[in-house]
Amino acid sequence: MLAEIITIGDELLIGQVIDTNSAFIAKQLNKIGVSVYQITSVQDDKEHILKALKDAESNVDVIILTGGLGPTKDDITKKTIAEYFGDTLVRNEAVLKNIEAIWSGHVSGLLLQVNKDQALVPSKAKVLMNRLGTAPGMWMEKGEKTFISLPGVPHEMQALVENEVIPKVKGKYNCPFILHKTLLVYGLGESALAERIEVWEDTLPKNIKLAYLPSLGKMRLRLSAKGFEEADLRINVDAEIAKVIPLIKNEFFGLEDEDGSVEVVIANRLTKIGKTLAMAESCTGGKIAEQFTSHPGASSYFKGGVVTYSTQSKINILGISKDLVEEHSVVSKEVVEAMAKNALDLFQSDFAVATTGNAGPSKGDSDAEIGTVHIAIATKNEVYSEKFMLGNQRVKVIDKAVNKALEMLLKEIFKN
């Protein structure tokens, strides 16, 4: 069972928009055992879309298109699909009713002709009703092959994938089961890790694939298996994980949550042990807080944070003493440890993490070299910090500092 995802839109090809739709669709297809053979992003151009459809039809069973279904003039997908199927566009009354309902609920003003035209669909298409927007999804078949066209607006596309596409694909095809498990590893480079686990890796069964996923100071190791017997797959993959963990026992910090990452592992642990977290961020600018609060359930362990970007706010809000800042500079071990300690007190939390540094491109309230970041952890019993040099590219300095902070937090929380 193979699928191809075709995303349509010039905005992707000029780099203005990052294609997040494909990753979402791929993840959902994977869960029901459909492998994505290829993801192809093409221009808003009829000939190019026709060519992409033809190529995809020769390679895979299911073709999913997204984008190019809005009401405006830059849309082209629908006409192109009709041409590909030698079909014509006809008005679908159910779609028109849905458009009218959405319009009357959200918009003051008359229904426009361009919106009415969204009710035109190829006569052979089964409509996938889009309750969140005016562009309908479409399901078309050609022998054993299925073509699915979805709007490009992410939340509309996502609802259609979850509610319509996945159940229908499962119903039509006999899908195998695909299992991924991902290990979080800290403190070993890619090649050192590879050498450490080489003997184990060489003995992996053929149906289990291993991948190394390094990213800004953290490493993920992914095992993937595929088959029709889910229980067997789980047993086999778990057996391999049980073999590899002893080889990396000081560097292994848990299995990544199915949809999550390090912060989810931390969050789950905090919830389990009934402890709370707070933070004081300077150079990371709220990004650590945002990592935690983007996941549901944060209110059970996350007390809050301060983004004390200016020196004055570190003094006023966190109660860092002016003398301490003047003596050691705002980017220092002493200041970051006071920030963590005071955040712990301010929010009455069990753990606190703090960051201060200079992410560049120019120097801020301190003379610290660009890329210097101090990160501290405070608990009820102790405060400690580490200093990092994280390069001179602003966005990367921030992202690496966030990763390092999460790594220190992970290690602290798993000590307890």
Give the footprint of a second copy on residues 109-148 (CB under 8 A).
109, 112, 114-115, 134
Contacts of 77 (CB under 8 A, 6+ apart): 8, 49, 65, 67, 68, 69, 149
Q: How many whole angstroms separate alpha carbon 375 and alpha carbon 402? A: 9
Residue 82 sits at φ, ψ, to 5 deg, of -55, -45
Print burial letters for 182-218: b (CB count within 10 Å at least 16), e (below 16).
bbbbbbbeeeebeebbeeeeeebeeebeeeeeeeebb
377-396 residues in contact with a second copy (CB under 8 A) are 391, 393-396
Q: Could you tell me which stretch among 39-47, 79-87, 167-175, 333-341 binds a second copy (CB under 8 A)?
A: 39-47
Helix or strand run (H / E) with residue 345: helix 333-347
Least separation in angstroms between residue 86's CB and a second copy is 25
193-232 residues in contact with a second copy (CB under 8 A) are 193-195, 201, 209-216, 222, 224
Show the site string, 289-328: x = touches a second copy by CB under 8 A, - = not.
xx-xxx-xxxx--xxxxxxxxx-xx--xx-----------
Least separation in angstroms between residue 46's CB and a second copy is 14
Q: Is 30 in the site for a second copy (CB under 8 A)?
A: yes
Question: Considering CB under 8 A, how many residues would be counted as binding a second copy?
Answer: 111
Shortest CA distance to 187 belongs to which of 228, 231, 218, 211? 218
Show the site string, 81-110: x = touches a second copy by CB under 8 A, - = not.
--------------------------x-x-
Work out the burial of residue 85: count CB atoms within 10 Å of its CB; fewer than 13 is exposed, 13-18 middle, 19 or more buried: middle
Tokens of 73: 């003039």
Nearer to a second copy, 19 or 240 (CB): 19
Q: How many whole angstroms separate alpha carbon 291 and alpha carbon 280? A: 14
Nearer to a second copy, 24 or 177 (CB): 24
48-77 residues in contact with a second copy (CB under 8 A) are 48, 52, 55, 70-74
Nearer to a second copy, 131 or 411 (CB): 131
